[in-house]
Chains A and B, each alone.
Chain A
Amino acid sequence: MKIAQEIRTGNVIMISKEPMVVLRSEYNKSGRNAAVVKMKLKNLLNNSGTETVFKADEKMDVLVLDRKEVTYSYFADPMYVFMDEEFNQYEVESESMGDALHYLDDGMPCEVVFYNGRAISVELPTGLVREVAYTEPAVRGDTSGKVLKPARIKPTGFEVQVPAFVEIGDRIEIDTRTGEYRNRVK
């Protein structure tokens, strides 16, 4: 059992006795330190999709599936191709990539998850470091009251909200479960 906030893209959870692969997981803090998680799920029995919300501390039954450590190789539309250390290739459908697409980089280490011998999803590390490709510079004496600003990361251009002090070229750690800035990496 895991709690909902520990569920990551690529996990397979049982809902109403049906295996559902998590294609996307979005975590947000609602109020008073409570949090909620929205998941985009695909039913592995009939391929139907749904979006559902859980309290972050709800317990979930997670299937233990085969997985392999791989690195990202290339995109062969519509499949993303990964390779293990023995040079075996595994293809994952683009619609099953979920949030991994936000952070995908050549040679990026991750895990491919299998269900009944089929590669069904990709799991990322909880935290990833990426370089800031562009963000507006902080202005000394700015009294506009902004507390966060958007920053585009390399190489995908995915936008992350960062504190005002973050600059172009900074390397920042991102929580891949939430898409949120964690800290600046020196």
Chain B
Amino acid sequence: MGRSLVLPGNRWRSLVLPGASWCAVASANTLAQVAPKAPGDARYEGCSQPNVHKNPSIRIHLYCRVIDHLGDVGASLRLARDLARLGYRLRLYCDRPDLAHALNDEQGEAPDGPEPFPAQHASASPDLPAGACMHPVVEICAWPCETDVQEAVDAPAHLIISAFGCELPAQVRASLAPPSPARSEGEASGESGDTSPPLWIHLDYLSAEAWVGGFHGRPSIKPDGARQIFVFPGFDAQSAGLPGTPPEHGPGADHEASQSLDPAPSGARKMSEARPLSIFAYAYAHAHLGSWSASIARAFRGQGHTGAAAHPTAILTIPAAHEHQWPSLKAWLATESLGLNLLAQCPQMLWDERLAASDLLLVRGEDSWVFAMRSGVPWLWQPYPQEPLTLQRKLAALLGRMEDCLGELPGWNAWKIALLAWGQAQMPPDDALEVLMQQWPRSAWHRLARQWALKCNAAQSLADGLALWIPGQRAAPAGARMSHHAQPL
């Protein structure tokens, strides 16, 4: 089973251990803050790092199956990192480990900072190659196959997460059934150790709909007696919290200078006459991307941003892998004096940086949507294509929550109209876009995006929600509903 280790944090270093199949990726800048020295764990001996591992004894296995694109594995990897940052030991099983590796920062640009964590400081351990030194990392593993599934079953885990409700490998699933009465009697008489199965979570998709609160935290008893808890990310205290964490320089970040509604919000990059507007689009194929780009650029030009001679007014960046979705896009944009930039597949860290550095985000799905909401950069969101009524309900639920927060602010109606149109793959609403682009980059859109980001970033994150819940659940009786107060039903 191919595995690599990924440290949480924003700066990564590859650490290839000689003579071993392990590849540890160490965050040189963050090691000092997060690296543990777990008492009694031989693998941590020799790691001269401060002991800040808050949950060193809790191991989490996160299972992820890729349905399409990179959203599943991207969201799973992000959650895994967030949990690892809280000190849990994370293992990510993925049926497309190649994608997980591509998204991890191992292949990112070499960051500044001290040298990688020295392998020579590591000591031998029972199940790691000589020289390996583990930290609170995400260990990426290939989806267990017949020949190695027993290793996944035997690997101790306190919590198993089925990301987006994926089916577990059959043997792993079977191991979640409660012990038979005979085994339980053996335990009672002290004949064996703790054989209770790990906690098992069904992690669902993010939705703003109100029903999420009523579903979140409910148990599900399977025919073999296995107990699963349904966890729903969401936007309020009745849910498990919002995925991700506030971006490093995003609204509400600790170091941000002002928490107020600054007239020049942090999401607004300074514009000069020469600099084209930077639009980042991660969209489904049925989006009218060319028309939207042109309308946005027209509204931008209408604010006096004419651009320098021979330079495009705006540059649209899309993933290179999406170019085939709009085969004539480049030529069409050229007729509108717009440029097209293709972004090659890159690690998640660089993806995030690219989004954060854009002037406007046209995003889809979940992972990029959450990042956009947290960033404070003006954004529009396209839900996963579904039957029209379902899609409209999801959009309406989001708009309802945003209206509660933003409804009194200038420009909200225009943003709402644009969200509805983009979200339903309609043609661009020129009037609304003109309102939104007024006084760019000190626009109402920036203020609205920043205010919403402040709300999102102040809310409990999914990882924090899980971290608050796990200790109580480990001691909770069967049937207890997931909540921070573990109320019985």
Chain A residues packing against B (C-beta within 8 Å) = 14-16, 26, 28-34, 36, 38, 49-55, 61, 143-148, 161, 163, 180-181
- State A80–B307 Cα separation when bound (angstroms): 74
A-contacting residues, B214-236, CB 8 Å: 214-215, 218-221, 223, 225, 230, 232
Q: Report the bound CA distance from A50 to B489 in whole Å.
A: 6
Residues of chain A with a CB closer than 8 A to B205's CB:
30-32, 34
* Per-position binary interface string of chain B over residues 364-394, scored 1 when its CB falls under 8 Å from any chain A CB and 0 otherwise: 0010000000000000000010100110110
Output the nearest chain A residue to B167 by Cβ-Cβ distance.
A55
Contact A148 B396 (CB under 8 A): yes
**Contacts A51-B218, A161-B393; is A31 near B413 (CB within 8 Å)?**
no
Contact B386 A28 (CB under 8 A): no
Whether B454 is near chain A, meaning CB under 8 Å from some CB there, is no
Once A38-B215, A148-B392 are accepted as A-B contacts, the answer to whether A51 and B417 lie under 8 Å apart by CB is: no
Shortest CB distance A165–B (Å): 13
| Interfacial chain A residues near B384, Cβ < 8 Å | 31-33
Pick from B206, B214, B389, B419: contact of A26, CB under 8 Å: B214
Q: Which residues of A contact B366 (CB under 8 A)?
A: 31
Closest to A61 in B: B223
Expressed in whole angstroms, the minimum distance between the Cβ of A176 and any Cβ of chain B is: 16
Docked Cα-Cα span, A66 to B205, in Å, equals: 39
Are A31's CB and B218's CB within 8 A? no
In this assembly, does B289 line the interface, its C-beta being within 8 Å of a C-beta of chain A?
no
In the complex, which of the residues A38, A147, A161 has the most CB atoms of chain B within 10 Å of its own CB atom?
A147
Report Cα–Cα, A175/B209, bound state, in Å. 19
Is A52 a contact of B396 with CB atoms below 8 Å? no
Q: Please give the distance in Å from B253's CB to the nearest CB on chain A.
A: 28
Q: Which 10 A-B pairs have the closest CB atoms?
A: A31-B205, A53-B218, A147-B392, A53-B230, A145-B416, A29-B390, A30-B204, A30-B205, A145-B420, A32-B384
* Listed A/B pairs (26) with beta-carbon separation below 8 Å: A14-B223, A15-B221, A16-B223, A28-B209, A29-B386, A30-B205, A31-B204, A32-B67, A32-B164, A33-B384, A33-B386, A36-B204, A36-B215, A38-B215, A51-B489, A52-B218, A52-B219, A52-B220, A53-B202, A53-B220, A145-B399, A145-B419, A145-B420, A147-B393, A147-B420, A163-B389
Chain B residues within an 8 Å CB radius of A26: 211, 214
Question: Which residue of A14, A29, A51, A144 contacts B413 across the interface (Cβ within 8 Å)?
Answer: A144
A103 CB → nearest B CB, Å: 19
Q: Most B CB atoms within 10 A — which of A28, A32, A161? A: A32
Q: Which secondary structure dominates chain A's binding surface?
A: strand
Chain B residues closer than 8 Å to A15, beta-carbon distance: 221, 223
Please list the residues of chain B having a beta carbon within 8 angstroms of any beta carbon in chain A. Answer: 67, 164-165, 202, 204-207, 209, 211, 214-215, 218-221, 223, 225, 230, 232, 366, 384, 386, 389-390, 392-393, 395-396, 399, 413, 416-417, 419-420, 479, 489
Chain A residues whose C-beta falls within 8 Å of the C-beta of B479 in the assembled complex: 50
Given contacts A32-B67, A49-B489, A51-B218, could you give 8 more A-B pairs where the C-beta distance is less than 8 Å?
A28-B215, A32-B384, A33-B386, A53-B219, A145-B419, A147-B395, A147-B396, A148-B396
Q: Is B220 a contact partner of A31 (Cβ separation < 8 A)?
A: no
What residues on A are CB-neighbors of B221 within 8 Å? 15-16, 52
B240 to chain A, nearest CB (A): 13
* C-alpha spacing A29/B420, complex, angstroms: 19
Residues in A with CB closer than 8 Å to B232 are: 30
CB contacts (< 8 Å) of B230 on chain A: these are 36, 53
Residues of A close to B207: CB separation below 8 A: 30-31
Residue of A nearest to B232 (CB): A30
Indicate whether A143 sits within 8 Å of B165 (C-beta atoms), given known contacts A36-B230, A52-B218, A53-B220.
no
